[in-house]
């Protein structure tokens, strides 16, 4: 593909429209993390495939704004084009609205595809342009005339997630949601988050890689609920199941019309953080801005607090996932011992295949990070469609992977030695594990935020003057997106309590550029431990089932309480998984989970 | 005093002015924590002497808004009056602006003394009144006509803090400040914080109990600097010393005129969080709101980062303070053993007297908390002007005290057994100490906030399902206020890094209503530990010098690293202090600091 030609074509279009600049965003109408091909506009115009980045093109400049995770990848992918990288999340970073404000002439007009940018993002852009009396010009699908072979949206079947998995009928979820929006003085809520809609209606689909969702909107009023999606996605049975629960269906493309037909006295809840600018401004033009409650969708929090049946389903998913992980590690060790030549890609393909054989398996939950040696120093490394590095019989190998199961979603990272490891590798392996144990065993009062807990995972590393440059934890969906909010565990402040029923990852790491990387990742369930005069006390239960290799550890760096935790965890893994393993696998796992002596 | 009569008189005044309500605040034009008698308006109208509280009076209601710390005290002090307590910092708390909004008629007029309320506080009140189209009516010194024997402001001498203590000439401080305000596009800065002015001009005075400050304002322009204070406070030498440094003097009461004479093109920095409403609105009327930079005063941060000479001075102050503390504890133990009858007041008076004998002693830094048995369960207990409880030869005694020294300010809490202690007392004593040790030994990356660090002090307590309901740490002034910002260590978010040179308290506790209280408090200095590929690493040095009693400890609850820290600390205390103690005191301290066996 000729990126430079595409940029030239876009500049002609800019001239035609009278634009001084155009913004091409990396997201879609639903503010998704993973996108169908049709909405990968930023990739089409620039060639950059990372999950985070925005392109801005002017007459004389083509820029990509992305963050530290993607500097190396962007440099490689943008080679031979005129694109320059603008680094974000670094000191003195200049974001693209600021850059436009600094570089555009007075009265500048910036073209956008407001269908694929959130209302909030466009607001920020508009505010930045105020000093130069600039404005945005919104043209939905502005690339269509250039992108002649632009793919259509995917049309995969919608299926119902039965109550034995969802734990709560869609009818009951709708009732709860109506109460919530009623209390906020609203008559309607418009949902555009694909995982929110899938959760609310208890449906799933396969429109997006890794995320079992349907491209859709949902409009819920006091009496009616409508699921806007491509008609070909819904068969008669699904339609019937939805109708029984009071959910009507309508074509995806008919949302605009439906919004236009809302009674003028409607008060609608719409989340400007994620809802696209075009739809948001259509709503405000029709109802008036004062009749939009622009607040985070309440579905985000409802979805994050898993019910007992979902939690039980997660247990099954983690069991299946643990079996797959142990089989994979047994295979890997056996193959390498037999002298087989294996690449990073061989390993990730094998693991994906083993997972696919699990009960209720529904595919991978994200693109695996299968990273050997120095590659593991990049927390978001991918061998892409290539074979990647050869796995040698020395050093550390890191694999961050996860599966979709009908009863839950998994995400796990293990780092294992493929042979002799260096002293620094041992130290980093041991010290990162201390962080994981500290968070796993945290006890905290109701009201504690992820920002508070983050410190517990870091302090053991900080005591050794080491740190990792990413967050410690993210929420995880129930047979939905592997990353979900509202909670997370990271240094930056977020005013969201950790609540009983939330599942959150626990993934401290240590990375040495050019040498190696370590990350240990489990999924934690937040539980109530007890109540007393001081308040309600919460803690975590580790849901992930896969042994932690003790051979790279430096036991002298571990407290006895940490060794006790590790021995108990490995024993629990063995006891739970061994009945499902072959005799050979089980004997191997017995060895792998042999307890360390407690000093 | 007849509180009810005063309330009746105020109601007559309200009628005269046509007010529906009047707010009597608990602070002064300088947003001080400690006030001279003249500004103790809230105490005059209600009888409540706590440090935090606001009175609102309407035709039919008299209310005091205060927080958990003062519920018991307020109940006692308001007995026999018509005042009702409105609790703050509790779930579903209704603050007084909200209460007025809920209870006042449309168009209500609320009288205030805007000279004694911050601009920010009045803003919040005005916003709350918007829905009922209410307004505030500002009358400075509105109580004057009723409070016929209202005391005048104190007039104590101003003295210069020499460079051997301040470490930086006022001229250089002014130069630095002018650079800062210039970068922010300002021509002037108006300072109303008394400790900020004292720090900036290197002066001290004794206008306020415990706080060695002068009641004053400071107006700094690009060329000139003016110190507004009562002329009788400044003798010829001080005036000369100030003039030499480019600081002019003017009467306290002439500030308003000076502000009125500011050139119309002035851009002034003024901190609406602390500057009183009357002065702030005078400024905005004269210069226009757009020419006021309403941001936190940069002096707050400059003052918090101590220079090497200040730090050295603190070391001397902590040495003097440690000697005084050890002498006090020796005296207390000896007296009790001799069968003397002692009250809480006897103990606090004795400690204050011993402190006053120290080198460079300049009085107490706050009203001591001398609390025996159940009294110690109130974190802000005071025996007031009464004798308080008798000290018996059993249970725990808590003393939270501090001194002013020319070279620094101290604040220390120790809890000691006066005889046999219960199992719960031992547990609480030991567990609270674990929290103190955890924070003392913290290692953290530059950029870490107090909110992050707070968790380190709490987690050891939380592991035992115990907590304390106050913050863990506050900044401390250099021969200034015992509480200062901008940094603190508490759960609530504050976007302020802990920086090298800051001094912050470390004071975890455990409180059991009706039984006992434990608190351990040291002052920590933030230092750079090292730099490496991960960033700049910071840590704390404990400045406080006074042994921690090991006899109530349950060593089984301590990790060996905690015992190692405690032994090293106590040994350091003995080694540093014993040369300054008598032979008997030293032998006693040797025993008190005998190391615990390390398991």
Contacts of A532 in chain B (CB under 8 A): 465
| B48-66 confidence digits (pLDDT tens) | 998 899 999 999 999 999 9
> Which ipTM score applies to this complex?
0.93
Q: Which of residues 490-549 of A touch B (CB under 8 A)?
A: 491, 493, 495, 529-530, 532, 534-535, 537
The alpha-carbon gap from B299 to the nearest alpha carbon of chain A, in Å, equals: 24
Quote the CA–CA distance of A525 and A317 in Å, as a whole number. Answer: 14
Per-residue pLDDT averaged across A252-267, rounded? 97
Contacts of B466 in chain A (CB under 8 A): 534
CB contact under 8 A, B534 and A467: yes
Per-residue pLDDT averaged across B221-237, rounded? 97
Contacts of B445 in chain A (CB under 8 A): 462, 467
Judge if pTM exceeds 0.90.
Answer: yes
| B8-34 confidence digits (pLDDT tens) | 999 999 999 999 999 999 999 999 989
CB contact under 8 A, B459 and A445: no
Contact with chain B for residue A465, Cβ under 8 A? yes
| Burial of B244: CB neighbours in 10 Å, binned 0-12, 13-18, 19+ | exposed
The pLDDT > 90 percentage for chain A reads 94
CB contact under 8 A, A537 and B465: yes
CB contact under 8 A, A495 and B493: yes
Look at strands A188-191 and A268-269 and give their pairing: parallel
- The nearest alpha carbon in chain B to A449 belongs to B491
pLDDT at B498 over 90: yes
Kindly report the three-state secondary structure assignment for every residue of A503-517.
EEEECCEEEECCCEE
- The nearest alpha carbon in chain A to B463 belongs to A443
pLDDT reported for residue B378: 86
Per-residue pLDDT averaged across A220-245, rounded? 97
CB contact under 8 A, B467 and A535: yes
Contact (Cβ atoms closer than 8 angstroms) between residue A97 and residue A125:
yes
- The nearest alpha carbon in chain A to B495 belongs to A493
Query: Who contacts B469 (Cβ-Cβ below 8 Å, separation ≥6)?
Result: B68, B379, B511
CB contact under 8 A, A463 and B443: yes
Nearest to B443 among A454, A462, A493 (CB): A462
| A354-376 confidence digits (pLDDT tens) | 999 998 999 999 999 999 999 99
pLDDT reported for residue A456: 98
Nearest to A452 among B447, B451, B495 (CB): B451
Contact (Cβ atoms closer than 8 angstroms) between residue A198 and residue A480:
yes
Per-residue pLDDT averaged across B500-525, rounded? 97
**Which of A443, A472, A490 to probe the B interface (max B CBs under 10 A)?**
A443
User: What residue ranges of chain B are covered by domains with CATH 3.40.350.10?
Assistant: 3-138, 159-303
pLDDT at B261 over 90: yes
pLDDT reported for residue B525: 98
pLDDT reported for residue B382: 84
- The nearest alpha carbon in chain A to B531 belongs to A465
Average pLDDT, chain A: 96
Q: Residue A527 has what DSSP assignment?
A: E
Phi and psi angles of residue B424, each rounded to the nearest 5 degrees, phi first: -65, -40
Contacts of A537 in chain B (CB under 8 A): 462, 465
Quote the CA–CA distance of B204 and B360 in Å, as a whole number. Answer: 14
pLDDT reported for residue A1: 58
pLDDT reported for residue A509: 97
Ranges of beta strands (E only) in A231-328 are 247-250, 268-269, 292-293
CB contact under 8 A, B451 and A451: yes
Lowest mean pLDDT among A3-7, A377-381, B456-460: A377-381
B143 or A73: which leads in pLDDT: B143
pLDDT reported for residue B72: 81
Nearest to B445 among A444, A462, A535 (CB): A462
Contact with chain A for residue B454, Cβ under 8 A? yes
Per-residue pLDDT averaged across A396-406, rounded? 98
Contacts of B453 in chain A (CB under 8 A): 455
For the beta carbon of residue B164, count every other beta carbon within 10 angstroms.
11
pLDDT at A492 over 90: yes
pLDDT at A494 over 80: yes
Quote the CA–CA distance of B570 and B591 in Å, as a whole number. Answer: 10
Measured CA distances, A488 to A273, A366, A491, B80 (Å): 17, 18, 10, 51
The pLDDT > 90 percentage for chain B reads 94
Contact with chain B for residue A457, Cβ under 8 A? no
Contact (Cβ atoms closer than 8 angstroms) between residue A489 and residue A450:
yes
CB contact under 8 A, B454 and A454: no
CB contact under 8 A, B452 and A456: no
Which residues share a beta bridge with B474?
B488
**Which of B534, B539, B558 to probe the A interface (max A CBs under 10 A)?**
B534
- The nearest alpha carbon in chain A to B450 belongs to A452
| B567-589 confidence digits (pLDDT tens) | 999 999 999 999 999 999 999 99
Quote the CA–CA distance of B543 and B410 in Å, as a whole number. Answer: 9
- Tokens 């209503």 appear where? B513
The alpha-carbon gap from A511 to the nearest alpha carbon of chain B, in Å, equals: 10
**What three-state secondary structure class fits B11?**
helix
| A329-339 confidence digits (pLDDT tens) | 999 999 999 99
Contacts of B535 in chain A (CB under 8 A): 467
B533 or A92: which leads in pLDDT: B533
Contacts of B451 in chain A (CB under 8 A): 451-452, 493
pLDDT at B449 over 70: yes
Quote the CA–CA distance of A194 and A254 in Å, as a whole number. Answer: 17
CB contact under 8 A, A445 and B462: yes
- Choose which CATH entry (3.30.56.10, 3.40.350.10, 3.40.50.720, 3.40.190.10) describes domain A3-138: 3.40.350.10
pLDDT at B183 over 90: yes
Nearest to B445 among A453, A467, A535 (CB): A467
pLDDT reported for residue A89: 84
pLDDT at A383 over 90: no
pLDDT at B1 over 80: no
B486 pLDDT tier (thresholds 50, 70, 90): very high
CATH topology of domain A305-592: Creatine Amidinohydrolase (3.90.230)
Q: Which of residues 379-398 of B touch A (CB under 8 A)?
A: none
A496 pLDDT tier (thresholds 50, 70, 90): very high
| A517-553 confidence digits (pLDDT tens) | 999 999 999 999 999 999 999 999 999 999 999 999 9
Instruction: With residue A524 as reference, give the H or E element that holds it.
Output: strand A522-532
**Which of A462, A468, A471 to probe the B interface (max B CBs under 10 A)?**
A462
pLDDT reported for residue A272: 97
A465 pLDDT tier (thresholds 50, 70, 90): very high
Task: Kindly report the length of chain A.
Answer: 599
Per-residue pLDDT averaged across A111-136, rounded? 96
- Tokens 């169908």 appear where? A36
pLDDT at A86 over 70: yes
CB contact under 8 A, B495 and A495: no
Which CATH number is associated with domain B159-303? 3.40.350.10
Nearest to B463 among A443, A453, A491 (CB): A443
B69 pLDDT tier (thresholds 50, 70, 90): confident
For the beta carbon of residue B116, count every other beta carbon within 10 angstroms.
27
| B76-130 confidence digits (pLDDT tens) | 899 999 999 999 988 889 999 999 999 999 999 999 999 999 999 999 999 999 9
pLDDT reported for residue A599: 85
Contacts of A456 in chain B (CB under 8 A): 455-456, 459
Q: Which of residues 59-118 of B touch A (CB under 8 A)?
A: none
User: What residue ranges of chain A are covered by domains with CATH 3.90.230.10?
Assistant: 305-592
Instruction: With residue A569 as reference, give the H or E element that holds it.
Output: helix A560-577
pLDDT reported for residue A379: 84
């Amino acid at each position: 593909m000729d990126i430079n030609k595409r940029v030239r074509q876009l500049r002609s279009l800019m001239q035609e429209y009278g634009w001084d600049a155009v913004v091409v965003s990396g997201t879609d109408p639903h503010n998704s993390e993973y996108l169908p091909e049709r909405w990968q506009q930023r990739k089409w115009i620039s060639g950059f495939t990372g999950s985070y980045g925005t392109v801005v093109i002017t007459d004389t400049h083509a820029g990509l704004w992305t963050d530290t995770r993607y500097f190396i990848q962007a440099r490689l992918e943008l080679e031979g084009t005129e694109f320059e990288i603008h680094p974000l999340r670094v000191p003195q970073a200049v974001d693209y609205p600021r850059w436009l404000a600094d570089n555009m002439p007075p009265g500048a007009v910036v073209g956008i595809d407001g269908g694929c940018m959130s209302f909030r993002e466009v607001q920020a852009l508009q505010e930045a342009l105020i000093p130069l009396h600039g404005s945005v010009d919104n043209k939905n699908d502005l690339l269509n005339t250039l992108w002649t072979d632009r793919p259509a949206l995917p049309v995969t079947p919608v299926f119902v997630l039965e109550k034995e998995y969802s734990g709560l009928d869609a009818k009951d979820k709708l009732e709860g949601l109506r109460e919530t929006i009623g209390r906020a003085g609203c008559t309607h809520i418009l949902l555009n988050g694909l995982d929110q809609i899938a959760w609310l209606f208890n449906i799933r689909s396969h429109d997006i890689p890794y995320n079992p969702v349907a491209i859709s909107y949902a409009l819920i009023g006091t009496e009616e609920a409508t699921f806007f999606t491509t008609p070909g996605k819904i068969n008669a049975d699904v339609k019937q199941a939805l109708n029984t629960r009071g959910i009507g269906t309508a074509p995806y493309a008919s949302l605009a019309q439906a919004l236009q037909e809302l009674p003028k006295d409607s008060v609608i809840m719409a989340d400007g953080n994620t809802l696209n600018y075009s739809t948001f401004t259509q709503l405000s033009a029709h109802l008036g801005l004062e009749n939009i409650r622009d607040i985070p969708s309440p579905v985000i929090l409802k979805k994050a607090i898993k019910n007992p049946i979902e939690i039980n389903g997660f247990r099954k998913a983690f069991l299946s996932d643990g079996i797959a992980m142990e089989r994979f590690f047994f295979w890997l060790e056996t193959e390498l011992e037999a002298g087989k030549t294996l690449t990073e890609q061989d390993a990730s393909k094998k693991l994906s295949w083993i997972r696919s054989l699990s009960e209720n398996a529904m595919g991978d939950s994200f693109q695996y990070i299968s990273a050997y040696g120095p590659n593991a120093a990049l927390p978001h490394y991918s061998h892409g469609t290539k074979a990647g590095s050869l796995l040698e019989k020395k050093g550390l190998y890191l694999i961050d992977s996860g599966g979709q199961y009908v009863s839950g979603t998994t995400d796990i990272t293990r780092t294992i030695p493929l042979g002799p490891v260096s002293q620094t590798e041992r130290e980093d392996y041991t010290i990162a594990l201390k962080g994981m144990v500290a968070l796993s065993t945290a006890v905290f009062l109701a009201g504690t935020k992820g920002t508070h807990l983050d410190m517990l995972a870091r302090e053991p590393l900080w005591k050794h003057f080491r740190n990792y440059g990413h967050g410690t934890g993210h929420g995880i969906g129930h047979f939905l997106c592997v990353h979900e909010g509202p909670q997370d565990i990271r240094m930056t402040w977020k005013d969201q309590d950790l609540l009983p029923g939330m599942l959150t990852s626990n993934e401290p790491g240590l990375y040495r550029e050019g040498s190696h990387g370590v990350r240990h990742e489990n999924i934690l369930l937040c539980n109530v431990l007890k109540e007393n005069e001081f308040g309600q006390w919460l803690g975590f239960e580790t849901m992930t089932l896969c042994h932690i290799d003790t051979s790279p550890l430096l036991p002298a760096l571990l407290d006895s309480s940490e060794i006790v935790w590790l021995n108990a965890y490995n024993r629990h893994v063995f006891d739970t998984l061994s009945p499902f393993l072959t005799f050979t696998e089980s004997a191997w796992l017995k060895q792998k989970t042999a307890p360390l002596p407690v000093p």
